[in-house]
Structure formats: structure tokens, C-alpha cells
Structure 1
């Protein structure tokens, strides 16, 4: 019998993460987890799953990690001084992310998150808008597509992806140009659009379920989930080049140095909206694909054998080979006391 969250992986993946001195954070809303994947050495990987209900978008900036969950956004911060003395597992971690704030936003189906100059941005899919997450409201709506006529909780265009540029929202993706409740479902294969936030202009149309737009080296990359593609979009023409085809519903992407880490999901068997997508005709798995950005070559995979069927987001935690992660559920986080100059475990003498 396999253990929960068992995975297989291409041999060079552990060596790559070891050399890069980084860890992957994976969110899976289906399993209700954020999973840290680290190299235990050049030849093996180790995982740390933690419970976060319906974990979706994540954002990493410096020592902060934000996680969108079913009804809350949770912000954690690294307390490195506590890592080595973590009571259940001392001398294990080289970083320790502990909860610092919880924003009670309600069930608004947040997707991508990003830190910016004005704070924490979120794609509010249920209300078809970009929002700021703060202590004043459930959410602060800032931008909507021009074709959305009302701020109502009915997921009109399935706004999902956000690309930042110079610390400001720049590009968003949606699955349809619809102003009707769940109208995007009528054409999931070719209804996808890309929009420029500052001008409101629609830059590209007829895309196969675009997700995870990202600016890398002056080029706009994104994932087409319906076809399992990594693509590079020319924003002036609306045309795109397919960089790689991947064996999964592609969604969630992060870059570190010359490598892209891309999330792959299976297709839900009971989801009539998705089961006829082109990617569904392939043998799919859930996990992570690693693509070299400079060449477009896929160099390896992490493949889940059980427990994980659908991923949403991937982030890279740089500079740490084995970070720890405490959620707001485990009692240990209440023992962590951190000041600007010191850190203690409650009860330390």
C-alpha cells in the first residue's frame, strides 16, 4: 500500500532543486493542502503537506507567504530563528513559516495572488474583479473588465490569472467575455481572453482556457489549460507561439533562474465542462513539469501517484533547502513568539 502523497520523479529533479537551493510550494484545493517539496539531497525529495482548506493562489515576497483558502487569506512569515528549535522536529528546518495574519474575506473564490506596491492583490473570480486584501472590508474592488456591468457574486467571465509588472497589476486572463452569470461556460475551449489592466484593452481572444500569465524577460508567458500548452503571447498581435505541450491540465507557474515549474492536473471525471477538452484525450497525471526557459525543453516531472488530483498554484521559496510550514490549525504556531530582534518558543527558559 502506498503512503498518502506518494510521488515519483525524474532523477535529475532532486539534483536540480539541491543545486538551485530552493523549495517548491504547491497548492492543491482538491486535497486541501499546501505541500512543500524540497531536495533532501542530490538524489531524493522530501515533502511537507499542511492543511489549508481549498488552497488556491499563493504569493511569495521576501519572508512573506500568502495563501488564498476557501474563506480566508492567510499570511505567514519566515521566523528563521525558530526553525532549528521547532519542538516536534528540532534540527530539521532551515526556515519556518508561521501564521502572522488572517483576512476573513468570505467565500469569493480567489484565484491568483500577488504582492504589489499597494499591498496584496487577488483575482476575485466570483465577483469578476481585481481586489486588494486588507483589514477594512471582505475585499476592496479596484478593477473590473469593461464588459462587466455589475459587482455581483456570479462568476461572469471566470477571471483567474494575474501578471504583475513593476509591482502593479498589468495582465489578467479570463475564460470568456461574458456579462452573464457563468456565461463563460458556453465556450470553454475557445472563449479565453487576455486583458491589459491599465487600459482595459482586450489583447487576445479565442484562447483555450488561459491561466497563470507571467512576465519573464520582457515576454508574456501563460498556460493554456485546455490543450496543456506553455505559450508565449505577442501582446501587439494577439498571436502566440506554443513553447511546450505537457501531459496535464496546466495551471500554476513559477520561475527560478532558467527554469519554469508548471502545475499539472487531471481532468475531473464528473465535470462535464472539462471532460471533452483536447488535453483529456491524453494520458494525464497530476504533478509538476519542469521546463528550461531558454530552450523550451521539458527536463523532468514530479508525478503524484495518489492523494493529489488537481493543483492550482506553484511558488518558489528561494534560498532554503528545507523550510518548515505551520498552518493556523496546528497548536504549535501559538507557541511561536517573534519580535523584530528575538524569537522564542513559549515555555522556553
Structure 2
């Protein structure tokens, strides 16, 4: 009689043996958001042979950006701003001298249900893609959001997700390029041609640079070149802005969304397709896209080098970022009360004792 198999732990994964060693060599960690699982996950090298996962709960985490010691995260109805404290990390309760960074929540902006996707820290504050209202907006403490730009084919602001605006690139701290899944001006109109209706636009000129794209996501600049993902065909592409064309860098057998480049390596997040989705069933790789994870490409040679696959917990990934000079990061949410005891003032940090703040007072 066979013994029952032991269930896999949450966030179990398999990975190429070289991946932990690569992260150690690059002195970095990977961060992803999975709105399906409600987590922001830090993936770090435990040593040259093992990876460690640190999942932290947030309500529908979507786009996020890290700039040095600053982080901003878009969630279901909030935008949360974090600051990294290496001093607080070193004295993290119960795990001293374990973490080399700790992102602590500093400000929460209450945006309401506007389905924010990509988000970034710019010269004039926080910029975000407001997918529900089909606009590019700023997040401040004065309003839920401040609309700053909308595509010319969108006639008025309305909470109707008319074109599924999703991706954004900043240049010199200002929005420059955006991606959308359509050019429609009706509620959810983009769904009619979701697989072939995508665009890349220049925010400053209102010019459509590329059209008829298969679900564009995750645009980013690297060394003066614009890259983006074509999720419906599983392609990584480099855009020629002047010629209004693109070159396929790599074809991936799956649904790609979420990308970053660091030290000659491109890290691309892969999602498992929903079996009950009539849209995803149309994609050529629908049956092969059965796992979520990360693929690593050596950019100079365009060669696929290594990967990580989730066995449990994660089906869909939205965003991926590399945390530079960070081997073991941590982050606090506003759900667990421990964030109330992490205190910073100019020049000093403290971990307050929970006993000093009785919850019943």
C-alpha cells in the first residue's frame, strides 16, 4: 500500500541549478506581484544551491517600482509608498542579522477602485496607469487621483475601462510611452479584438507607434532601447521608434507579463493561462502555458539560460522587478501590526516593544 504523498508547501518551486548562483553573482533578488494569490514575493538566493521565498500579503498587488531605497506599489484600492531601512532590517524581531533590507510602509494613498496597473516614481511624484478611467494619472494626498493624460480616442473620463491602458515608460522622470490593448471608446470595447488590437503610444505626441499588437505589456527602457512583451504570442521585442517597427528578441512558449533587465540578463515572468478563459483558449500556446514562473535570457546572445517554475500557490504574475545590491530583502504590509513598531527618525531607527502599545487602549 502506497504511503500518501506529503503536500507541497505554499510557494514551492523548481529551478535551474544555476539560478541561485547567478543571483549571488549579480548581488540581487527578484520581486514579483501576483494579484491572483494576493502576494508580493521576494525571491532570493539562500546560498549557491537554494532559493528562498518571502511572500507578503497585499490586496490585489499589481504594478510596483523600486528606485534605490524607495518603493511604490499599486493595490486593489490603495497605493502604498515604502522606504527601505537596512538598519531596521538588521534588527528585525526574532530574525536579527537575517535581512539586508526592509521596506517599511510610510504613506498609504486611498485611490478607490480604479484598477491601477503600472506605476512609477517620477520627477513630479507618483505616476500611474488608471486602467478603469483609461488615463495616465498622478497619485497625491489631495484627491483619489489626478488625471494628466488620456489617449485622443477616449472622449471623456469614465470608469469603464474603454481601452485597457496598462503599461508605462518614464524618460527623465516623465511619462513617455504607454501600452493599451485597444483603441476603443466604449465600455470594455477592447475585448472584441483582445488578441490583435494592442498599441504602443507616445504620450507627448499622441502618436501611435505600433498597432495591431498581440496584448502588449511591460514596456521598459534599457540602455536607450525600448523593450516590451507581446503576451498573446509569448514574444520579447525591441522597438525601433523611428521606423515604427520591432524586432523579436526571443520567442517564449507561454504567456509573458512582467520584465526587468539587470547585468546582461533579462528576467521575464510567465503566467499560467486560465483554463476557463475563452480568450486565452484562442492562444497558440494555450495548452503549453500550464505553469507560472520566471525565465532568464542572456541578452547579448539572446539565449535562454535558466528558469524557475512554481509548483504551488502562484498561477498569474503581473509585475517583476530586480532589487539591486539586495540578497535577502523583507517588506512589511499594513495588515500585520508589526509595522507599527518599526520606527525611523533622521539618523536613528528603533524597534518599539509591542508591550508599550497595548491593543486595548
Quickly name the TM-score band, shorter chain normalised: over 0.9
Match for residue 164 of structure 1?
170
2:140 paired with 1:131: no
CA RMSD, 1 decimal: 1.3
Match for residue 123 of structure 2?
117
Q: How far is the alpha carbon of 1:172 from its aligned partner?
A: 0.4
Query: Which runs of 5 or more structure 1 residues have no equivalent in the other structure?
Result: none
Question: Please, which of 271, 275, 278 is the counterpart of residue 272 of structure 1?
Answer: 278
Query: Which runs of 5 or more structure 2 residues have no equivalent in the other structure?
Result: 1-6, 357-361
2:110 paired with 1:104: yes
Match for residue 217 of structure 1?
223
Greater displacement, 203-212 / 263-272: 263-272
How many residue pairs match? The answer is 349
Q: Which has the larger radius of gyration?
A: 2
Match for residue 28 of structure 1?
34
Q: How far is the alpha carbon of 1:156 from its aligned partner?
A: 0.5
Greater displacement, 213-222 / 193-202: 213-222
Question: Please, which of 144, 150, 153 is the counterpart of residue 156 of structure 2?
Answer: 150
Match for residue 261 of structure 2?
255
Runs of 4+ in 1 over 6 A off after TM superposition: none
2:194 paired with 1:188: yes
Question: Please, which of 66, 72, 75 is the counterpart of residue 66 of structure 1?
Answer: 72
Question: Please, which of 48, 53, 56 is the counterpart of residue 50 of structure 1?
Answer: 56
Kept after mapping to 1: 8 A contact 2:273/2:289: no
SS of residue in 1 equivalent to 2:285: helix
Which runs of structure 2 are paired with 1:275-294 in the superposition (5 Å)? 275-294=281-300
Question: Please, which of 304, 310, 315 is the counterpart of residue 310 of structure 2?
Answer: 304
SS of residue in 2 equivalent to 1:275: helix
Match for residue 205 of structure 1?
211
SS of residue in 1 equivalent to 2:280: coil
SS of residue in 2 equivalent to 1:19: helix
Q: How far is the alpha carbon of 1:120 from its aligned partner?
A: 1.0
Kept after mapping to 1: 8 A contact 2:178/2:219: yes
**TM-score normalised to structure 1 length:** 0.97
* Structure-1 separation of matches of 2:126 and 2:284: 35
* Structure-1 separation of matches of 2:92 and 2:226: 41
Kept after mapping to 1: 8 A contact 2:255/2:289: no
* Structure-1 separation of matches of 2:234 and 2:194: 14
Kept after mapping to 1: 8 A contact 2:131/2:165: yes
Q: Deviations over 1:272-324 (max 9, x none)?
A: 22221223143432011111222211111110011100000011111110011
SS of residue in 2 equivalent to 1:278: coil
SS of residue in 1 equivalent to 2:46: strand
2:92 paired with 1:81: no
Cα separation, partners in 2 of 1:232 and 1:284, compared to 1, 3 Å: farther
* Structure-2 separation of matches of 1:24 and 1:206: 31
Kept after mapping to 2: 8 A contact 1:261/1:289: yes
Match for residue 140 of structure 1?
146
Q: Deviations over 1:178-220 (max 9, x none)?
A: 1111110011111011100110100111110000111112221
